[in-house]
């Protein structure tokens, strides 16, 4: 039977199914926790770490990702403290420096408050968020793609490099890939990468009501919890 518990997110008491992801529940309620790798109602892998929140227990707060955190009764979550905002911004900064050639990544960087990038840009093809692997494994149970290699050699690939029978070419992996959405001004040429920031006006709306989803268009490109 579905057991409902009450969690407190940024002061709001939210009824949530026990064990369901805090990130999904906060979204249902309208509290925006920026995220990239999470797909709504899937277990969550905690790969991009953008959805970090403070989980307060006994007056001591611990930073953890809300996409992997299961709701427990009486849980106290803070999504928009100075500490969290700074961590999120720094994470988004290294993310956008890695792959500026994606509107989704650029948008999430704006949403996380990145104003400058202090690292040399790289023009990676894949940011290893694992959305494709999640949908293929957790939703379709096809396991047609997965991660191969460790650390810098990590990449998404077919088993042994051959497309298996279990792949029905549903193209959900392509659909969900944040790298397939080119920036509004068109693809950025290698060597000319820049931080776009065109959508900063969207952020103004979001900043007026901190931590609340205002249906800004920043999450649209990668299908954030609101749009997905």
Residue 56 in the binding site for another protein (CB under 8 A): no
Residue 141 CB: number of other CB atoms within 10 A? 9
Closest by Cα among 53, 57, 110 to 85: 53
Beta bridge partner(s), residue 16? 5
Residue 94 in the binding site for another protein (CB under 8 A): yes
Residue 15 CB: number of other CB atoms within 10 A? 12
Closest separation in Å from C-beta 5 to another protein: 15
Beta strands in 41-141 (DSSP E): 52-57, 60-65, 76-78
Q: Which residue in the set 31, 34, 35, 45 belongs to the binding site for another protein (CB under 8 A)? A: 45
CA distance 130 to 178: 10
Return the number of the residue (70 or 113) whose C-beta is nearest another protein. 70
- Token look-up 């890939």 returns 177
Supply 109's token pair.
């960087």
From 9-17, 26-34, 84-92, 167-175, span contacting another protein (CB under 8 A)? 84-92
CA distance 60 to 55: 8
Q: Which residue in the set 18, 119, 175, 209 belongs to the binding site for another protein (CB under 8 A)? A: 119
Residue 68 in the binding site for another protein (CB under 8 A): yes
| Contact between 136 and 39 (Cβ < 8 Å) | no
Closest separation in Å from C-beta 90 to another protein: 4
Residue 161 in the binding site for another protein (CB under 8 A): no
The angle formed by the CA atoms of residues 178, 184 and 185, to the nearest 5 degrees, is: 125
Residue 52 in the binding site for another protein (CB under 8 A): yes
Residue 74 in the binding site for another protein (CB under 8 A): no
Residue 182 in the binding site for another protein (CB under 8 A): no
Q: What are the residues whose beta carbons fall under 8 Å from the beta carbon of 118, sequence distance 6 or more?
A: 93
Q: Which residue in the set 4, 15, 115, 147 belongs to the binding site for another protein (CB under 8 A)? A: 147
Return the number of the residue (20 or 45) whose C-beta is nearest another protein. 45
Return the number of the residue (149 or 185) whose C-beta is nearest another protein. 149
Return the number of the residue (98 or 193) whose C-beta is nearest another protein. 98
Return the number of the residue (64 or 180) whose C-beta is nearest another protein. 64
Phi, psi torsion values for 8, nearest 5 degrees: -110, 115
Total binding residues for another protein by CB under 8 A? Answer: 33
Beta bridge partner(s), residue 52? 65
Eight-class DSSP state of 131: H
Residues numbered 98-117 forming contacts with another protein, rule: CB under 8 A? 98
Residues that bind another protein (CB under 8 A): 45-50, 52, 63-65, 68-70, 86-87, 90-91, 94-95, 97-98, 118-120, 127-128, 147, 149-154
């Amino acid at each position: 039977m579905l057991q409902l518990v009450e969690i407190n997110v940024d002061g709001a008491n939210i009824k949530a199914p026990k064990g369901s992801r805090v990130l999904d529940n906060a979204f249902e309620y309208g509290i925006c926790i920026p995220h990239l790798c999470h797909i709504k109602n899937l277990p969550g892998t905690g790969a991009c770490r953008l959805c970090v929140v403070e989980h307060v227990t006994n007056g001591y707060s611990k930073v953890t990702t809300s996409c992997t955190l299961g709701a427990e009764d009486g849980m106290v979550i803070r999504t928009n403290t100075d500490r969290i905002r700074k961590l999120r911004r720094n994470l988004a900064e290294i993310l956008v420096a890695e792959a500026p050639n994606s509107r989704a990544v650029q948008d999430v960087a704006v949403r996380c408050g990145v104003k400058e990038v202090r690292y040399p840009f790289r023009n990676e093809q894949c940011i290893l968020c694992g959305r494709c692997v999640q949908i293929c494994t957790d939703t379709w149970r096809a396991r047609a793609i997965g991660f191969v290699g460790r650390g810098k050699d990590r990449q998404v690939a077919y088993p042994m490099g051959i497309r298996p029978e279990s792949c029905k070419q549903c193209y959900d992996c392509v659909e969900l890939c944040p790298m397939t959405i080119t920036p509004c001004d068109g693809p950025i040429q290698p060597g000319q990468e820049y931080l776009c920031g065109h959508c900063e006006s969207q952020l103004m709306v979001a900043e007026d009501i901190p931590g609340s989803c205002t249906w800004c268009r920043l999450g649209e490109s990668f299908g954030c919890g609101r749009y997905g």
